Amino acid sequence: MSCANIQVSETPLVLYALRRADDALILGHRLSEWCGHAPMLEEDMALSNIALDLIGQARELYTFAAKVEGRDNDEDKLAYLRDVRQYRNLLLVEQPNGDFAQTLVRQFFYSAFADLYWRAMMNSRDATLAAIAAKSEKESAYHLRHASEWIIRLGDGTEESHRRAQGAIDHLWAFTGEMFAADDSECALIDAGIAVDPGSLRGRWLTTITDVTREATLALPRNDWMQQGGRSGRHSEHLGQLLSELQSMQRTFPGLTW
């Protein structure tokens, strides 16, 4: 294994799996940054547990992508040897942890989507994606409940926690639209019953978000302008910094194992 970037032939199905794998890996990595730093022991364990679930989902999806691609890539090469522009994750998941409220709002937006998404993907015509979905769906249900409880606690907590939670919602809102977009390559998979139309999940996602934020005495932003780019490799500056840490061992000592 060298430390140079690999090339991936992104057929629609490979690209589709890579995008979901990248979402899970990057968000999992972000959460793992809290390990040892969370505000209390229980949260340290919770965030690390959720990170572990997400990284596990990423591994399954990368392995699937590599198998579909049918060249000599594998889960490790896909994770460690692609550069920023080759990453296909949502901009939402690469956003920095910020304070605890920002991490939980990011998690809440994503988990409310992932919960619906994986449940719908259990009916995928692709047997492996359906199997990955069946596992991920159960995990997402826990993640969503955890995040929802925190949104309520923070929003309906002190003046300070409310201010921070509201600030995080206002800041991250523009990154939520990308979850519901599908480009041409995905539309073909949706038509074939392999993928789910993410736009069809937006109504139910918004209901969950609205119900929880209302109980948390928080407000949703009115603006509809949404930032996009992650799915085609145009990322914020934060992803490069994250990858330089995530990939440093394999880039420095190619093929290292332990």
Partner 1 sequence: MVTMTDDDAALRQRAWEVAASVVDPEIPVLSIADLGVLRDVVLDGDHVEVAITPTYSGCPAMNMIALEIEVALERAGFHHPKVRTVLSPAWTTDWMTEDGRRKLRAYGIAPPQAASSRRALFGAQAVACPQCGSDKTELLSEFGSTSCKALWRCKACREPFDYFKCH
> Which of the ranges 57-65, 68-76, 168-176, 179-187 carries the binding residues for partner 1, by CB under 8 A?
57-65
68 binding partner 1? (CB under 8 A): no
For residues 258 and 250, give the distance between their C-alpha atoms in angstroms, rounded to a whole number: 12
Q: What is the dihedral of CA 248, 251, 255, 258, to 10 degrees?
A: -10
Q: In angstroms, what is the minimal distance from the CB of 72 to partner 1? A: 20
50 binding partner 1? (CB under 8 A): yes
Q: Which of 1, 141, 190, 226 binds partner 1 (CB under 8 A)?
A: 141
- Full 3-state SS string of the chain: CCCCCCCCCCCHHHHHHHHHHHHHHHHHHHHHCCCCCCCCHHHHHHHHHHHHHHHHHHHHHHHHHHHHHCCCCCHHHHHHCCCHHHCCCCHHHHCCCCCHHHHHHHHHHHHHHHHHHHHHHCCCCCHHHHHHHHHHHHHHHHHHHHHHHHHHHHHCCCHHHHHHHHHHHHHHHHHCHHHHCCCHHHHHHHHCCCCCCHHHHHHHHHHHHHHHHHHCCCCCCCCCCCCCCHHHCCCCHHHHHHHHHHCHHHHHCCCCCC
**Site residues (CB under 8 A) for partner 1, limited to 26-45:** 28, 42, 45
128 binding partner 1? (CB under 8 A): yes
Q: In angstroms, what is the minimal distance from the CB of 38 to partner 1? A: 11
228 binding partner 1? (CB under 8 A): no
Q: Which of 19, 20, 30, 59 binds partner 1 (CB under 8 A)?
A: 59
Count residues contacting partner 1 (CB under 8 A)? Answer: 30
Q: How far apart are the first and last CA of the chain?
A: 15
> Which of the ranges 137-145, 182-190, 213-221, 243-251 carries the binding residues for partner 1, by CB under 8 A?
137-145
22 binding partner 1? (CB under 8 A): no
180 binding partner 1? (CB under 8 A): no
Q: Which of 1, 6, 56, 226 binds partner 1 (CB under 8 A)?
A: 56
130 binding partner 1? (CB under 8 A): yes
Closer Cβ to partner 1, 118 or 175, answer by number? 118
Closer Cβ to partner 1, 135 or 251, answer by number? 135
Q: Under the rule (CB under 8 A), what is the footprint of partner 1?
A: 28, 42, 45-46, 48-57, 59-60, 127-128, 130-132, 134-136, 138-139, 141-142, 145-146
